[in-house]
A = this chain, B = another copy of it.
């Protein structure tokens, strides 16, 4: 191969920030090919649109999680924050009778505050991210439950549910559109904005980043705030999809999101990876769940298969790297 070729290849894969995710991308394609042959119903526009619907919530959470993991952190609270955001939305819109135009910002604000608190604990009080967000997970869940004493809320305006159901132009629901927009913005940010590059520096080595004049603490607080806000946004889209809110929702979503990010090639130690890979990771999880359902695999066996896929996807990366 000529050197010029090498260069071009490198640049293409880099452009999409698939970084370590070319392996997973191949895995995703193989999975799709397999499912197309194994089932009648997988390969259809309708099923593809269903999958897009199904990954909306996970996708948006995973974007925020990518940023958190890029700076070397982790956020276990996203599932609970999502539930809290939903309950606040329901409370404001249905119980207090505020219009959605106020209820939605309200829910996002509460989510952002939980993230900011976690970020402050991590950056300024040196609480390890795992612990700070674990505590926030417990707190946000408790608060979500306290709003209605554990009951659900229904009675949103009709258009709200329609946003998740009507496929404009036959293809795009508003919720899927929002997810795609979030991915696009996050990708542009990560790739072309100073702020995005800073995340890599902070994750790579916070001390080097600090000495390079980056406000590491401020970046940390902002990233957790953004992650929580996105979890809140995901909650609002989920509320639209379910046309109801309940405080017990979103348990263990953080684990799915983390798995998606890591399958997508972002390293848990921070500093490498990116949004492109996360998209692949989210799709792998979404397609796998969908495919296993279409194959009528028993739910217990599904649990085993998903575990195996996570391990294989991540372990496969080891073989690609040159041995030491």
Please measure, in the bound complex, the distance between the C-alpha atom of A143 and the C-alpha atom of B299, giving whole angstroms: 11
Binding stretch for chain B, among A15-23, A126-134, A219-227: A126-134
| Chain B proximity of A141: nearest CB distance (Å) | 5
- Would B268 and A131 count as touching, CB distance under 8 A? yes
- Would B127 and A300 count as touching, CB distance under 8 A? no
- Would B268 and A130 count as touching, CB distance under 8 A? yes
Question: Mind listing 5 A-B residue pairs with CB under 8 Å?
Answer: A135-B310, A135-B311, A138-B303, A139-B307, A145-B300
- Would A262 and B128 count as touching, CB distance under 8 A? yes
| Chain B proximity of A280: nearest CB distance (Å) | 16
| Chain B proximity of A207: nearest CB distance (Å) | 11
Please measure, in the bound complex, the distance between the C-alpha atom of A76 and the C-alpha atom of B202, giving whole angstroms: 26
| Chain B proximity of A128: nearest CB distance (Å) | 5
Please measure, in the bound complex, the distance between the C-alpha atom of A259 and the C-alpha atom of B131, giving whole angstroms: 7
Contact with B along A271-309 (1 / 0, CB 8 A): 000000000000000000000000000111111111110
- Would A310 and B134 count as touching, CB distance under 8 A? yes
- Would B315 and A127 count as touching, CB distance under 8 A? yes
Q: Which residues of B contact A74 (CB under 8 A)?
A: 130
Given contacts A142-B300, A301-B146, contact A259 B311 (CB under 8 A): no
| Chain B proximity of A125: nearest CB distance (Å) | 4
Query: Secondary structure at chain A's binding surface: helix, strand, loop or mixed?
Result: helix
Q: Which residues of B contact A137 (CB under 8 A)?
A: 307
Q: Residues of A within 8 Å of B, CB-based: how many?
A: 47
Q: In chain B, what residue has the closest Cβ to A140? A: B307
Please measure, in the bound complex, the distance between the C-alpha atom of A37 and the C-alpha atom of B76, giving whole angstroms: 35
Given contacts A310-B131, A311-B132, contact A126 B303 (CB under 8 A): no
- Would A127 and B255 count as touching, CB distance under 8 A? no
Q: Which residues of B contact A121 (CB under 8 A)?
A: 311, 315
Using a CB–CB cutoff of 8 Å, the interface residues on chain A facing chain B are 74, 76, 121, 125-128, 130-132, 134-139, 141-143, 145-146, 149-150, 255, 258-259, 262, 267-269, 298-308, 310-311, 314-315, 317-318
Q: In chain B, what residue has the closest Cβ to A312? A: B135
- Would B135 and A318 count as touching, CB distance under 8 A? no
- Would A127 and B311 count as touching, CB distance under 8 A? yes
Instruction: Please tell me which one of the listed residues B130, B143, B262 contacts residue A258 in the complex, with CB atoms under 8 A apart.
Output: B130
Q: Which residues of B contact A150 (CB under 8 A)?
A: 300
Please measure, in the bound complex, the distance between the C-alpha atom of A44 and the C-alpha atom of B318, giving whole angstroms: 56
Q: In chain B, what residue has the closest Cβ to A77? A: B307
- Would B255 and A149 count as touching, CB distance under 8 A? no
| Chain B proximity of A144: nearest CB distance (Å) | 8
- 9 closest Cβ pairs, A-B complex: A142-B303, A138-B307, A142-B304, A139-B307, A145-B300, A135-B307, A135-B311, A125-B315, A135-B310
- Would B307 and A142 count as touching, CB distance under 8 A? yes
Given contacts A125-B315, A307-B137, A315-B121, contact A301 B130 (CB under 8 A): no
